[in-house]
A and B are shown apart, each in its own frame.
Chain A
Amino acid sequence: MGKIFSIARYLFLESVRDRLFIMLMLISVIVVAGNFALDFFDQGIQDRIIFDFGSSLASLLGAFLCLYLTTSQIRAQLDSKKAYFILTSECSRTHFIIGKWLGAIIFTAFNVLIIFGEIFLIIYFNSGLFSRLTLIYFYIVTLKLSLLGAIAAFFCVTSSLVVAPALSVFIYFIGHWGSYISYAIEKSGGSPLVLNISGLITGYLLPNFKYYTAEHVITENFEGAAGYLVMLTLYTLAADVIILGAAALVFKKKDL
């Protein structure tokens, strides 16, 4: 475990010093802070706008950071041979994959936390509300990004620098809008067999990103939120283990 944490720690340290990430964060923080100027709506609507806009931005920025970081830290480093430093030490390829994934998720979560922290503070100073939903949604977004990171890590060891993020984005979209695909097939008169196969793939075989929305928590009116979050955590952990396990298995046999 020490080696995994060490890889994650130095990935974090390196990323924190990357000017690209610093600029990106700065812009996002400024954009979210701009919401503070929205004083022409009712209090409730204003809070809702701040939350919706801020959390969407955090989720989008998180997805970009997660994909960029995983790709640049795994695929690009394998191509540039930087990864040899780790891979020729007393460190297995599984350590490498998990360490890089963990580091990317911690760094992404750190950035997303800054934005959610900002949303929380804006809502608090604006209307004196302690926005529990902001904290819960930060946790949900982190879980979602850990799953996206695992998918990106898998594609990084099985494909190229361009294909890996493209496939990850594709799976991310299918995971979000899989049910619309089934709906489109049904509407266009597709056969029940095709419909069943599409339902099986989008609903069960591929990770379902539709679970990671704030609506689930709001509908549960917080009372059932704890149970939902536990189930979501277990689902994410299981998916992460399966995807990273598959990535490690493939990577073990790969020529570098």
Chain B
Amino acid sequence: MSDEKFAIECINLSKNYSGNLNEREKSAVKNLNLVVKTGEVHGFLGHNGAGKTTSIKMIVKLIMPTSGDIKIFGRNIKNADYLDKTAYIAESVNFYQFLTPAEIIDFSISLNPVSFAAIGRSDLKSKTEAALNETGLYKWKDTAVEKFSKGMRQRLALALCLLREPDLLILDEPGSGLDPDGISLLLKIIEKFKKMSKTVFFSSHHISEIERVCDRVSIIKYGELLETIDLSDYNKKSASVEARYLELMKSEKSEL
């Protein structure tokens, strides 16, 4: 685990998309100031098109911010070529269709030398088997991914995270495509990461998932951060995140 106090710091982060022809420039994220503490599970809530995926993609360097800075474990990522010890699972996971899970894991090992450096070769084999077993994919380990359903691909992505044990796990709507068993597995994995003092940052539409595993939750609307809620305070007051979320969604003036 990193010694830094904050796993993610977004400082005045903005992203604008230039409009086509007569369309005006669209602002997807506006001056986002978000802090995810090291070792916490942090939820990211918002309606469709609120800017969750854009923010997450900026954090994992898939898109470039228009302005602002992002720090991962205290290091500004502006000039970094890639993020180490950070894993990301997109909303819809796609793998190379003619490769098997065993090969995809091997491929991931070769692409992430820093993450896997601490694990010995013999340990790696047993850990791979354990990760595939835990995600229910062991018997499919030699089957090409083209035959996998969306949920199975999501499980494979989770198996990779289990194996890699990154210090920071970023998930974008990880529950989509998963059956109830899969969602239960996902939450178990998040709890496992929490016990290992790893940081998890994930976006979701399911408030129940967030309430179950998160320490804090940030609510975003039309690209602006409305509030960050500490769930331990809420639990003491027996308040509901859902009620607060709906209240925030109604109170702020809506835009189209």
A residues at B contact (CB < 8 Å):
2-3, 6-7, 10, 13-14, 17-18, 80-82, 84-94, 253, 255-256
Contacts and interface: CB of A to CB of B under 8 A. Distances in A.
A256 B62 contact: yes
B27 to A, nearest CB: 15
B62 A18 contact: no
Nearest to B98: A17
B115 A82 contact: no
Contacts of B60: 88
A90 B110 contact: no
Contact of B98 (A3, A14, A91, A93): A14
Given A88-B60, A88-B61, A90-B112, 14 more contacts: A6-B110, A6-B111, A14-B97, A17-B144, A82-B94, A82-B96, A85-B94, A85-B96, A85-B104, A88-B62, A90-B115, A91-B82, A255-B62, A256-B62
A2 B64 contact: no
B96 A255 contact: no
Interface string B114-141: 1100000000000000000000000000
17 contacts: A3-B110, A3-B111, A3-B113, A6-B111, A13-B103, A17-B144, A80-B94, A81-B90, A84-B62, A84-B88, A84-B94, A88-B83, A88-B86, A89-B112, A91-B82, A92-B81, A255-B64
A85 B104 CA distance: 10
Contacts, number: 74
Please list the 6 inter-chain residue pairs (A to B) with the smallest Cβ-Cβ separation, ordered nearest first. Answer: A92-B81, A6-B110, A255-B63, A17-B98, A89-B111, A82-B94
A90 B111 contact: yes
Interface in B21-55: none
A88 B87 contact: yes
B176 interface: no
A10 B106 CA distance: 10
Nearest to B146: A17
A114 to B, nearest CB: 20
Contacts of B197: none
Contacts of B98: 13-14, 17-18
Nearest to B84: A90
Nearest to B110: A6
A10 B99 contact: yes
Contacts of B143: none
Nearest to B60: A88
Contacts of B84: 90
A89 to B, nearest CB: 4
B111 A86 contact: yes
Nearest to A5: B110
Given A17-B144, A84-B90, A90-B114, A10 B96 contact: yes
Contacts of B103: 10, 13
B141 to A, nearest CB: 16
Contacts of A17: 98, 144
B51 to A, nearest CB: 14
Interface in B122-177: 144
A86 to B, nearest CB: 6
Given A6-B111, A90-B115, A91-B82, A14 B99 contact: yes
Nearest to B99: A14
Nearest to A16: B98
Interface in B55-102: 57, 60-64, 81-84, 86-88, 90, 92, 94-99
Contacts of A86: 111
B113 to A, nearest CB: 7
Contacts of A18: 98
Contacts of A10: 96, 99, 103, 107
Contacts of B113: 2-3, 90
B66 to A, nearest CB: 10
A94 to B, nearest CB: 7
A82 B110 contact: no
Contacts of A7: 111
B112 to A, nearest CB: 5
User: By CB atoms of chain B within 10 A, which of A2, A80, A88, A256 has the most?
Assistant: A88
A146 B227 CA distance: 53
B88 A88 contact: yes
A87 B86 CA distance: 12
Contacts of A94: 81
A88 B84 CA distance: 9
B96 A2 contact: no
B112 A87 contact: no
Nearest to B114: A90
A172 to B, nearest CB: 28
A119 B95 CA distance: 38
